[in-house]
A and B are shown apart, each in its own frame.
Chain A
Amino acid sequence: MPALFCRVDETDRQPIRLFVDGKEIEALEGDTLLVAVLSNADRLRKNEFDNKPRAGFCLMGACQDCWIWTEDGRELRACSTQAEDGMRIMTGEVPWLLNR
């Protein structure tokens, strides 16, 4: 899957590892969750109304189009959440009954 975002500077940070849909990705300490995912992939989530891919829009916490799920069923706004080593996130909705 090609990366949407392109890093142009500040690449000498500590690498961290996250899991997106079970697949390991490498990101950098200080990345937002949105940047961690989109520097590895071309989508972040699916829209709940047409199931088509989305990748955020405003990056400043206003549009709410970057909410993603953790494997254990929490929702995080990816543009304003720091990526942390070991995070496990899903680009699709986590079924309600499976997450508790």
Chain B
Amino acid sequence: MAAEPVIIVGAGPAGTRAAQRLVSAGLHPVVVDENDRQGGQIYRRQPPGFHRSHKKLYGTEAGRARSLHDDFDALLPSIGYIPGTTVWGVSDEGLLTMRGSEVTILPFSAIIIASGATDRIMPLPGWTTPGVYSLGASQIALKAQACTIGRRPVFMGTGPLLYLVAWQYLQAGVKPAAVLDTSSLATRLRGLRGMAVRPRAVTNGLRYMAALARAGVPLRSGITPCRIEGQEAGVTAVIWQDAKGTLHRTACDSAGMGYGLRSETQLADLLKCEFIYDTRFSQWRPKTDPDGRSSRADVYLAGDGVILRGADAAEAAGKLAACALLQDRKIPVPGEEILGLRETLNTMTSFADGLAKAFPWPARLAAALPDDTVVCRCENVTAGDIRHAATAYDSPEINRAKALARPGMGRCQGRMCGLAATEILAAARGEPVASAGRIRTAAPLKPLPLDCKVTS
């Protein structure tokens, strides 16, 4: 059974710690990562030739970033490391990967999926205008390329990333025009109890908000985004409504938006892992036991790609999934190690539950989107198209609507629009979103060149 290697997909916090734990037990896992350099998104490394310090790049998390990078570099002699390579499919022989136009089949004895997350997006009229980016993109521009998305951005949406990114821009000398949060102060207070288990994280968040307020950046809560104004030449303003219903226009030249995160679960879906609806995060995810075992004996999951608990939890979950795999192979793992990791994750779970309560996904916005709002950016499928499929064509769930109106059929495979499209469909039918299903994944997960060559 163990002739083929264990493959770890993703080299962020979860993938790195999983690899490290397997190596310490004498295994030689293969780490496949889409990025050219290890680190994942939060601890993304800057390219060679850039000189900013860890402190400048990762702030309060500089020590963690340093250790994650150094520990991975130390693993290199003991692992197979395949960077810059995308897993796009699954066959009987193994995982199908591509690098440029080169396709390789990687056989495996087991897989640990540490695929991370993307921003969770609620579409908005005007969001396809050049100059509108996800919050994660706004941060990547700065961290990995020392650029900002504009000179006067608005940051809009909800979640802790909203304030972190705005603060990072302020530090970089680009003052945001406003930070607009759909969550209200009241919901944030409700989430505080769960979040209190990690006081340092809460203090950091409050520190960012205070610094932004001191710098004169308007911070608004309980807002409703209306539209992004802009011509072909780019963004000119964000129109939004305050909690009392008064309309506001904030002039800006760019916008970063995001509503928490969305687990990247497509590989688990291709591997036919069982999924459950997670009410905490209002999204579907692969079903796992507390240690990361999926419904398939040879597939384990860790990190934000399965449960949205953040980078620190991902490190613990990566290690725990590796321990589970070792135990399943009858390789001894100290009982106290497992118990310690589970305890760490329990704390992280309380915090994540608190965060989800404090900064809830504003599902209500989906129902209110004007019919002509583009939902699928790939193919310009609108909210009206989805509603038409939901009602006139009587599609009770999203895959039927996908077949009829094509939301999620474009080259992003529903990664950007899928969750919002499902909310729109459910709202149009007056049914709970969990009953509207989830977009079924199809290979290739990402566009594959026509002239690809298969090598083994």
Interface positions of A (Cβ within 8 A of B):
2, 4-11, 13-14, 29-32, 35, 38-39, 42-44, 47, 49-50, 52-65, 67, 74-75, 77, 80, 82
- Give the distance in Å from the alpha carbon of A8 to the alpha carbon of B142 in the complex: 8
Which of B46-54, B63-71, B74-82, B358-366 participates in binding chain A?
A: B46-54
The distance in angstroms between the C-alpha atoms of A7 and B446, with both chains bound, is: 30
Q: How many interface residues does B have (CB within 8 Å)?
A: 53
- The answer to whether B380 and A49 have CB atoms under 8 Å apart is yes
- Separation of A29 and B32 alpha carbons in the complex (Å): 26
B180 at the interface (CB under 8 A from A): no
- Most B CB within 10 A of own CB, among A30, A63, A74: A63
Q: Which of B142, B145, B174, B234 has the most A CB atoms < 10 Å from its CB?
A: B145
Binding site for A on B (CB under 8 A): 34-36, 41, 46-52, 86, 118-119, 128, 130-134, 136-137, 140-142, 144-151, 172-174, 232-234, 254, 264, 377-380, 410-412, 415-416, 446-447, 449
Contact B119 A58 (CB under 8 A): yes
Q: Are B134's CB and A42's CB within 8 A?
A: no
Asked whether, in the complex, the Cβ of B130 is within 8 Å of the Cβ of A43, the reply is yes
**CA gap between A13 and B46 in the complex, in Å:** 13
Do A62 and B147 contact each other (CB < 8 Å), given the known contacts A5-B141, A42-B234, A56-B133?
A: no
Given A2-B233, A53-B232, A56-B133, 7 extra CB contacts under 8 A: A4-B234, A5-B148, A7-B146, A10-B46, A11-B146, A62-B412, A77-B447
Check if A6 sits within 8 Å of B148, measured CB to CB: yes
B378 with A35: CB separation less than 8 A: no
The answer to whether A52 touches B128 (Cβ under 8 A) is: yes
Determine the distance from Cα of A29 to Cα of B49 in the docked complex, in whole angstroms: 8
**CB < 8 Å A-B pair total:** 135
A14→B146 CA distance, assembly (Å): 15
Majority DSSP secondary structure for residues of B touching A: loop
Question: CA–CA, A9 to B49, complex, Å?
Answer: 12
What A residues does B148 contact at CB under 8 A? 5-6, 8
Q: Are B172 and A5 in contact (CB under 8 A)?
A: no
- Considering the chains assembled together, what is the distance between the CA atoms of A82 and B36 in angstroms? 10
Looking at the complex, which one of B134, B173, B449 makes contact with A59 (CB distance below 8 Å)?
B134
In whole angstroms, how far apart are the Cα atoms of A75 and B234 in the complex? 24
Q: Which of A59, A62, A80 is close to B133, meaning CB atoms less than 8 Å apart?
A: A59
In contact, B47 and A30 (Cβ under 8 angstroms)? yes
Across the interface, which residues of B come within 8 angstroms of A50, CB to CB?
Answer: 380
Q: Once the chains bind, are B416 and A63 in contact (CB under 8 Å)? A: yes
Sample 18 A-B pairs with CB under 8 A, ordered by A number.
Answer: A4-B149, A6-B151, A8-B146, A10-B146, A42-B131, A49-B380, A52-B128, A54-B130, A55-B131, A57-B416, A60-B137, A63-B134, A63-B377, A63-B412, A64-B378, A64-B410, A64-B412, A80-B36
A54/B128 contact (C-beta < 8 A), A4-B150, A6-B148, A62-B415 known: yes
CB-nearest residue of chain A to B253: A4
A31 vs B145: C-alpha distance when bound (angstroms): 7
Q: Say whether B34 contacts A64, CB under 8 Å.
A: no
